[in-house]
Amino acid sequence: MKTLTCMIVDDEPLAVKMLENYVARTEGLQLAASFSDPVLALNALDDTPVDVIFLDIQMPDLDGLSLSRQVPASTKIVFTTAFKQYAFDSYEVSAVDFLLKPIRYQKFLAAVEKVRQWFDHEPVPQEPQKSAEPTSMFIRVDSQLQRIDFDKIVYVSGLKDYVQIYIDGQPRPLTTHLTMKAIEDMLPTSRFMRVHRSYLVALDKIRSVDRNSCIYIGNEIIHVTDAYRDSFDKYLQTHIPG
């Protein structure tokens, strides 16, 4: 029996805990991640694709119906909600099942079985294909979701629970409510590196590095601190000819 990987996305902590408990009790079902923030969940799917998402519909910033339209077609959706009126909308976006809260375990098991039947009837690819590295992410800016292409990011600076994202060609940075750790996890490590407690840089946007380990990038000079010096030096060594 194929083990199905799943993700839980719900802004209610009690609902998340209940679904996590159901997943743990269900043979052949493995939890990849749980999120209370749908935007973070959407970005995480680029790096951690799953077979099925147990997805709440009514959430702030990005509702479940909108999120479901942006996930890969190979990811199945099981909606979870306390509002019966959303049932019709859920089938419009080809959800496998619709679970009405409070969710009973037997109903949960039936939904998992429906997902399994979908995969049992899909053709098995002859050769596994490596997922393409994501090229963009969504962040909240002024109460709106905005897509940012990684190619356009120059560097990121941290301000307590906020970060400022400096975009090539834009005079002002984009400010969003995220920690440096959260934004670091959202950016591909092959293209971005943390060089300071409060700075993260796009490696291909670095113009020069002086003898004092100061990075010249955009309109900023960023000093590489001791905590990040070893990893940055290793990067430089692999990019110095000879």
Give the model confidence (pLDDT) of 164-215 as tens digits.
999 999 999 999 998 899 899 889 999 999 999 999 999 999 999 999 999 9
What's the pLDDT score for residue 132?
59
111 vs 80: CA distance, rounded Å:
11
DSSP 172-223: S-EEES--HHHHHHHS-TTTEEEEETTEEEEGGGEEEE-TT-EEEETTEEEE
pTM for this entry:
0.56
Q: Name residues of the chain where pLDDT drops below 50.
A: 87-91, 124, 126
What six digits make up the tokens of 45? 């799917």
Closest CA relative to residue 164, chosen from 146, 180, 186, 188: 180
